[in-house]
Every structure is written in C-alpha cells, then in structure tokens.
Amino acid sequence: DTGVSQDPRHKITKRGQNVTFRCDPISEHNRLYWYRQTLGQGPEFLTYFQNEAQLEKSRLLSDRFSAERPKGSFSTLEIQRTEQGDSAMYLCASSPRTGSYNEQFFGPGTRLTVL
C-alpha cells in the first residue's frame, strides 16, 4: 500500500453513461497524475496537477475526459458518454516534490468496464 487510494476499485457501466473516479494522494504530495492502462500496454499519461493547477491536459484522450483537483488535495477524473473503448484501468499517482527527481507513488487503480 503506497498511501494513494482510488475509489471505486471497479466500475461497470453502460455505454453512454458518465462515470467519475476519485483519487486521494499522499497528503503532503503536491503533484497528482492520471494514467490509463489497457490490456498488455504500459500506463499512458493523461494529465497532471501541481496543487490545484492542471499543468498538462493535452494528452487527455478526448473532450469527453476531464479532471479536477479543486482544493489541491483529492482529484476526480470524469468520462462523459462512455464508449466501449474507454474500458481500461485508470491509475492515479502522486509525487512529493518538483525538480529533477520525481518518484511517483501509484494507487491500485480503478478498473472500468463499459458494456
């Protein structure tokens, strides 16, 4: 257990529904990252925050994906109008500092299945 928690751990939804995932980072970490991982592939970077500021979001997969970190603590990732291709593991990570060294601590992930 790295101290990063994600909720829910599993989500099954029907195509077209909206889903929201939550990530709680290690409390003193100011950076938070979201990744997506499909079967047989490594994690794919989506976006990251430094405190409440979203510093990189160009790699979000489409405008159906959005993320927030309103108070610089927990974060949510929302997928609107889900598609079957959105089925994947969604991983959150946090890191404690800026600069050249950046160890990321990953949560257990939320597995999304879109029917």
Please report how close the Cβ of residue 42 comes to other proteins at its closest, in angstroms. 3
Among positions 7-46, residues that touch other proteins (CB under 8 A) are: 31, 33, 35, 40-45
Q: What are phi and psi of 67, to 5 degrees?
A: -135, 150
Report how far Cα 65 is from the mean position of its chain's Cα atoms.
Answer: 10
Number of residues that bind other proteins (CB under 8 A): 28
* Angstrom distance (rounded) from CA 108 to CA 67: 18
Q: Which three-class secondary structure state does DSSP give residue 52?
A: coil
Is residue 2 at the binding interface for other proteins, with CB under 8 A as the rule? yes
Among positions 39-68, residues that touch other proteins (CB under 8 A) are: 40-45, 48, 55-56, 59
Q: Which is nearer to other proteins, 13 or 105 (CB)?
A: 105
Q: Which three-class secondary structure state does DSSP give residue 61?
A: coil
What separation in angstroms does the CA of 35 have from each of 23, 65? 12, 12
Give the interface with other proteins as residue ranges (CB under 8 A).
2, 4, 31, 33, 35, 40-45, 48, 55-56, 59, 91, 93, 98, 100-109
